[in-house]
């Protein structure tokens, strides 16, 4: 089975061909980061325009690299939710037209389900059910992966996502967008106990997250220091932020796994590339006796292979779309 996956939900135009659910034959990613950097974040209209310019070339290269033709495909999978609406519409319209022109099934894929699927590409033996912590620029979710296509959210962020918290703290420290990776790099020479940062409690659901208090505290600390002409040690502050975020994600995930009786824990989403988060979760899982799965680093950020992989499982479960498929900016993963 050969599935083409197309991703355009944010600032990466990506396409990939995946064979038999888990074998990546090609993966092409055209990133717009350099352009959005100038504005300190993603500018939605620019993102849509770049997707529009790049998508055909990216898909053509994905087919060429995989050495397959449109005729060889069993289906065309596309991210239809959630994300920037104009950006999603480019991928959805393109995939629909392609599916119609070559008479292939069209397969809708939820972006978060795609991130979760990166673990199938990395760990050939991983099968549901398991618990997955998904942390990205737009989402922080603890999800029960009940089957390849059924999900239940146990906890979510009440405000900022973990990646957003990394990026906003990084911006206040003067790092370019997206700052998460710069904080990660700076931690190598930093002392994680140098700064005391708040560890938020969330009333109501103990598995929900809140990162805005941590972010605000870091931003206030930087502003107060600059008013007094004091320069904070960026390495120490980075290490302290990274430790706080890693501890929060790890603690809630381990507690959720114990409460809901899961033995397997997976990590996914852009923040799964973070050295501190990977280490904290993997050490906690080892200590507490959980099996731990995380994606290879090249699969952590947005890519087409995750959409092709999840698209393959959707296709096997009979999840296809007709010509009325539309893009949806916001759609909980347990509503699909």
* 302 binding Zn ion? (CB under 5 A): yes
The neighbouring-strand residues paired with 157 are 209
CA distance 222 to 169: 9
CA distance 97 to 102: 9
Kindly list the residues in this chain that would bind ligand KG4 in the complex (CB under 6 A).
Answer: 10, 136-138, 163, 166-167, 178, 180-181, 184, 269-271, 273-274, 301-302
Segment near Zn ion (CB under 5 A); pick from 55-63, 230-238, 251-259, 301-309: 301-309
Shorter beta-carbon distance to ligand KG4: residue 181 or 192: 181
What minimum distance in Å lies between the beta carbon of 161 and Zn ion?
10
Nearest to 155 by CA among 212, 116, 208: 208
CA distance 37 to 10: 14
Segment near Zn ion (CB under 5 A); pick from 67-75, 84-92, 129-137, 230-238: 129-137
CA distance 309 to 116: 10
What minimum distance in Å lies between the beta carbon of 270 and Zn ion?
6
What minimum distance in Å lies between the beta carbon of 240 and Zn ion?
26
Residue from 8, 16, 32, 136 that binds Zn ion (CB under 5 A)? 136
Q: What is the three-class DSSP state of 109?
A: strand
What minimum distance in Å lies between the beta carbon of 39 and ligand KG4?
15
163 binds, among ligand KG4, Zn ion, none (CB under 5 to 8 A by kind): ligand KG4
Cβ-in-10-Å burial (0-12, 13-18, 19+) of 261 comes to exposed
What minimum distance in Å lies between the beta carbon of 302 and ligand KG4?
4
Distances (CA, A) of 37 to 18, 29, 57, 179: 31, 17, 23, 10
Shorter beta-carbon distance to ligand KG4: residue 155 or 163: 163
Shorter beta-carbon distance to ligand KG4: residue 10 or 92: 10
* 157 binding Zn ion? (CB under 5 A): no
Confirm if 287 and 251 have CB atoms less than 8 A apart.
no
Contact characters 80-119, Zn ion, x per CB under 5 A: ----------------------------------------
Which residue's CB comes closest to ligand KG4? 270
Shorter beta-carbon distance to ligand KG4: residue 2 or 299: 299
Q: What is the three-class DSSP state of 101?
A: helix
CA distance 111 to 161: 15
Shorter beta-carbon distance to ligand KG4: residue 10 or 222: 10
271 binds, among Zn ion, ligand KG4, none (CB under 5 to 8 A by kind): ligand KG4
What minimum distance in Å lies between the beta carbon of 83 and Zn ion?
8
* 12 binding Zn ion? (CB under 5 A): no
Q: For residue 129, say if its preceding peptide bond is cis, omega within 30 degrees of 0.
A: yes
Shorter beta-carbon distance to Zn ion: residue 211 or 290: 211
The neighbouring-strand residues paired with 297 are none
CA distance 288 to 293: 14
What minimum distance in Å lies between the beta carbon of 178 and ligand KG4?
4
In the sheet that 23-31 helps form, which strands lie side by side, from edge to edge? 23-31, 12-19, 2-7, 75-81, 106-110
Residue bearing tokens 């998508």: 55
Check residue 13 and give left, alpha or beta (phi > 0: left; psi -120 to 50: alpha).
Answer: beta
Shorter beta-carbon distance to Zn ion: residue 136 or 242: 136
Positions that interact with Zn ion (CB under 5 A): 136, 302
């Amino acid at each position: 089975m050969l599935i083409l996956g197309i991703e355009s939900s944010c600032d990466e135009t990506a396409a990939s061909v995946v064979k038999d659910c888990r074998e990546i034959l090609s993966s092409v990613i055209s990133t717009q980061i350099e352009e959005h950097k100038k504005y300190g974040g993603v500018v939605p209209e620019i993102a849509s325009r770049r997707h529009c310019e790049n998508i055909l070339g990216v898909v053509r290269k994905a087919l060429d690299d995989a050495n397959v033709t449109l005729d060889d495909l069993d289906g065309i999978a596309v991210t239809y939710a959630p994300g920037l609406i104009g950006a999603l519409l480019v991928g959805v319209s393109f995939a629909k037209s392609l599916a119609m022109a070559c008479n292939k099934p069209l397969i809708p894929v939820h972006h978060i389900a795609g991130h979760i699927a990166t673990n199938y590409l990395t760990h050939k033996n991983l099968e549901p059910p398991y618990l997955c912590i998904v942390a990205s620029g737009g989402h922080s979710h603890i999800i029960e992966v009940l089957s390849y296509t059924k999900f239940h959210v146990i906890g979510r962020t009440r405000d900022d996502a973990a990646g957003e918290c990394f990026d906003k703290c990084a911006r206040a420290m003067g790092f370019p967008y997206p700052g998460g990776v710069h904080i990660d790099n700076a931690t190598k020479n930093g002392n994680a106990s140098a700064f005391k940062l708040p560890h938020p409690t969330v009333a109501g659901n103990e598995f929900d997250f809140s990162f805005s208090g941590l972010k605000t505290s870091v931003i206030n600390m930087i502003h107060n220091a600059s008013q007094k002409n004091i320069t904070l040690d960026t390495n120490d502050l980075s290490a302290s932020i990274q430790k706080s975020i890693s501890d929060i994600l790890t603690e809630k995930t381990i507690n959720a796994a114990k409460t809901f009786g899961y033995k397997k824990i997976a990590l996914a989403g852009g923040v799964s590339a973070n050295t501190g988060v990977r280490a904290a979760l993997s050490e906690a899982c080892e200590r507490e006796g959980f099996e731990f799965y995380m994606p290879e680093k090249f699969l952590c950020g947005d890519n087409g292979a995750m959409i092709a992989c999840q698209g393959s499982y959707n296709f096997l479960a009979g999840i296809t779309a007709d010509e009325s498929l539309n893009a949806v900016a916001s759609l909980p993963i347990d509503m699909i």
